[in-house]
Homo-oligomer: A and B are copies of this chain.
Amino acid sequence: MKLATYRDGSPDGRLMVVSRDLRRAVDAGTIAPNLLIALERWDSAAQALQRLSDMLNADTAAGSVDFEPQRCMAPLPRTFQWCDASAFLNHGRLMERAFNTPPIPDFDTVPVMYQGASDDFLGPHDDVPLPDEALGIDFEGEFGVVVGKVPMGATPAQALDAIRLVVQLNDWSLRALGPREMKSGFGFLQAKPSTSFAPVAVTPDELGDAWRDGRVHLDLDVEWNGQTFGHPNGGEMNFGFGDLVAHAARTRRLGAGTIVGSGTVSNADRAVGSACIAERRVIEIIDHGEPRTQFMRFGDRVRMCARGADGDAPFGVIDQRVVRA
């Protein structure tokens, strides 16, 4: 099934079930008022949501309406935990060159992951308020998963079983602030403003064959101001989401609704382009001795859309404009 959250004036929004083709939607507030509560009561809520989804897809759900992505908040407008990995090693190795940082220890055997802010996510069409163009405004196209409760020390297989939903996201980054925060050893904080999410969170079964090995085997189309920027495939992730969730749970329990991200989707084949500007810039440095692409300006737009096998957009579209805060 596919779930979205409509803006209703509350911090957590209103839970909606969305049809497979993203054309219709139906209010699911009688099952759970919002997605965070549905995830906490998943064993009972999932069955009722699935029945409603089946009716919606059969065009027999009472009260269904046209789905309006403009009304969407992030599927989880806020949650209690957000951890983002860097699981595409191609990207990580290029970024080491960009930031001129020493090689990360055990980079190809132990995932790297930062703890992100989860109190204020942006919806797919919200403006993105940022304080200053000089901070190096960049996008990062990613996939992510939302889990139920995960016990401390869960194995990757157990972690994979705890995955409830798959999401598509843009992990906004401020590149001028990254190096100092990385060198501090304390990790990203100011360098990672609020993250944006595509309108629809989907259960893994909705992705069919594109969900396998704990990875999303779909191209992520990225456009910047209407120009194609890249379309790397999520299947090249060097750690699966089971590995990433287990990494996050090694020394602590994870609460229901925890989101774990893949890091910037990135492929070794440079012909497919990139899902963030920083990666393109370091490729330019390698090829030409200097970066040629500048970071974003206020008024710029980014559009991100994972492309299904049949050309559809299983998560819908992120299409946002960067504005001065």
Contacts and interface: CB of A to CB of B under 8 A. Distances in A.
A289 interface: no
A128 to B, nearest CB: 11
A120 to B, nearest CB: 5
A152 B180 contact: no
Interface string A243-283: 00001101111110110000000000000000000000000
Interface residues of A, number: 58
B78 A185 contact: no
A129 interface: yes
A45 interface: no
Given A112-B186, A131-B251, A180 B106 contact: yes
A43 to B, nearest CB: 16
B190 A250 contact: yes
B153 A251 contact: no
Given A117-B115, A252-B194, A101 B325 contact: no
B78 A255 contact: yes
A195 to B, nearest CB: 10
A189 B114 contact: yes
Interface in A73-104: 78-81, 83, 86, 99, 101-102, 104
A4 interface: no
4 smallest CB-CB distances across A and B, nearest first, come from A187-B187, A182-B185, A119-B255, A80-B119
